[in-house]
Amino acid sequence: MKDYITNFITHIPFKDIGIACLIFLVFFFIGKIFSKYILEFIIKIIPKKYQRIDDYVIQSFKKPVSLFLIMTGLYLALHYLPLSDHTIYYITKIYRSMIIILIGGGLFKFSNATEILFNHVSTRLNLQFNKIIIPFLTKAIKFIVAALMLAALANEWGFNIDGLVAGLGLGGLAISLAAKDTLGNLFGGLVIITESPFTIDDWIQTPSVEGTVEDINFRSTKIRTFTQAVVTVPNSRLVNEPITNWSRMGKRRVLFNLKLDIHTPKEKMVKCAANIREMLKARDDIDQETILVHFHQFSSASLDIQVYFFTKTTTYDEWLIVNEEVNTEILAILENLEIDLAVPIQKTYNMEGFPSFKKNTVQARENEFTMEQERTHSQ
């Protein structure tokens, strides 16, 4: 090998070697200058509203462009030398392959800016994108870029891509039969993303789990329960269960029965219900569309007023605060009207005062005495 290189160098004029080195150095310094000064100048002249997106583009392709200029200089330098056609052929193949890798690497890194692009599009076109779609699309774009890059490299070096695709098809059939559960989870994830029954940070409830959605990927969905445990649910199972999305409530319900003492006068009871209705209608944090406060039913120890309304907030801690304030004002209304809440009543009866009870008790004692006598006689 050493002799081959020595023989190779000795057969090339020093003038050609010098010009080749000069070509390489020119492109090398152009690449350095471009990445250090020209890109910084471009960033400064970009309008601020586009700067974040263009900054991602520049940062993603900064190194690939610099390496492209250096590789181009090396290619032109070697191409200038009087090399054999066979050597030039492989040099060209390597140069073209490097270009494919550099473009693929830049696009692969730029795919991380999917969130910024979608936010920009949603702002311009007034569209809303689900939080789950953006990470999913980022992974899908990376997979497509990697697949296209490998296909282009295979085609560049003369591999039969058609045969590879056919082989992948047969292999995919075998894999799909062996991994149907995995494919079921994958399609389940696609259903969740396209139908969007929930998104990240939503509070959901299913027959098997309840909590806040933390992440969704190709296989499963991670849900943090209210005990702070993380439950991983396969997507194929999750899409086949009824899902209640509590985060999508437009308003939050409050429903309870206010049990007044059974001896409360009718006038006070009616006045109490009217005062509660007025109090609810005067609050800004209560939805005014549905406020129902009515005498609902009798019970053995109470007169029940049903209170039914909605809070504008759906956040649990804020809902509790509103509920507490309403309950406090209801207590004040009861105090002003001097109305007592119902207390469960338990009555005790002395059964010995009833003749039938005495007769049954005497008969039971006589039977017990007779049985005792028979046991003694038998012994």
Give the model confidence (pLDDT) of 17-35 as tens digits. Answer: 788 888 888 888 877 777 6
Sheet holding 244-245, edge to edge: 230-234, 220-224, 210-216, 203-205, 244-245
- Does residue 303 contact residue 262 with C-beta atoms inside 8 Å? yes
**For residue 305, pLDDT beyond 60:** yes
**For residue 332, pLDDT beyond 50:** yes
One-letter amino acid at 236 equals: S
Q: In this structure, what token pair is assigned to residue 58?
A: 């520049």
**For residue 346, pLDDT beyond 60:** yes
Residues 50-74, mean pLDDT to the nearest whole number: 73
How far apart are the C-alpha atoms of 303 and 311, rounded to whole Å? 25
More confident position, 164 or 276 = 276
Candidates 278, 283, 210; CA nearest to 247 is 210
Per-residue burial over 266-292, b = 16 or more CB atoms within 10 Å of its CB, e = otherwise: eebbeebbebbbebbeebeebbeeebe
Lowest-confidence pick of 64-73, 113-122, 265-274, 319-328:
113-122
Mean confidence (pLDDT) of the chain: 77
**pLDDT for the residue 128:** 47
**For residue 165, pLDDT beyond 70:** no
Cα dihedral 167, 171, 172, 177 in deg (nearest 10) = 150
**For residue 176, pLDDT beyond 60:** no
- Does residue 221 contact residue 208 with C-beta atoms inside 8 Å? no
Q: What is the pLDDT of residues 76-132, one digit of tens each?
A: 888 778 777 788 888 888 888 888 888 888 888 777 766 666 665 555 544 445 556
More confident position, 159 or 102 = 102
Query: What's phi and psi for 343, nearest 5 deg?
Result: -120, 130
More confident position, 50 or 263 = 263
Separation in Å, CA 375 to CA 292, 363, 367, 379: 70, 19, 13, 6
How far apart are the C-alpha atoms of 3 and 5, rounded to whole Å? 5
Q: In this structure, what token pair is assigned to residue 327?
A: 């309950």
Residues 294-321, mean pLDDT to the nearest whole number: 90
Domain ranges (residues) in the chain: 2-159, 181-247, 249-337
Question: Of 2.30.30.60, 3.40.50.300, 1.10.3720.10, 3.30.530.20, which CATH number belongs to 181-247?
Answer: 2.30.30.60
**pLDDT for the residue 61:** 74
Residues 313-332, mean pLDDT to the nearest whole number: 92
**pLDDT for the residue 352:** 56
Candidates 205, 303, 320; CA nearest to 259 is 303
CATH architecture of the domain formed by 249-337? 2-Layer Sandwich (3.30)
**pLDDT for the residue 125:** 45
Per-residue burial over 188-211, b = 16 or more CB atoms within 10 Å of its CB, e = otherwise: bbebbbeeeebbbebbbebeebeb
Q: Which long-range contacts (CB under 8 A, 24 or more apart) does 203-211 make?
A: 203/245, 203/246, 203/247, 204/243, 204/244, 204/245, 204/246, 204/247, 205/243, 205/244, 205/246, 206/233, 206/238, 206/241, 206/242, 206/243, 206/244, 207/241, 207/242, 208/233, 208/237, 208/241, 209/233
Residue 136's CB is within 10 A of a number of other CB atoms, namely 20
More confident position, 370 or 238 = 238
Most confident of 45-49, 265-269, 341-345: 265-269
**For residue 175, pLDDT beyond 60:** no
More confident position, 225 or 147 = 225
**pLDDT for the residue 364:** 59
**pLDDT for the residue 270:** 93
pLDDT tier at 256 (50, 70, 90 boundaries)? very high
**pLDDT for the residue 7:** 53
Residues 157-168, mean pLDDT to the nearest whole number: 63
**For residue 355, pLDDT beyond 60:** no
Residues 299-306, mean pLDDT to the nearest whole number: 88
pLDDT tier at 291 (50, 70, 90 boundaries)? very high
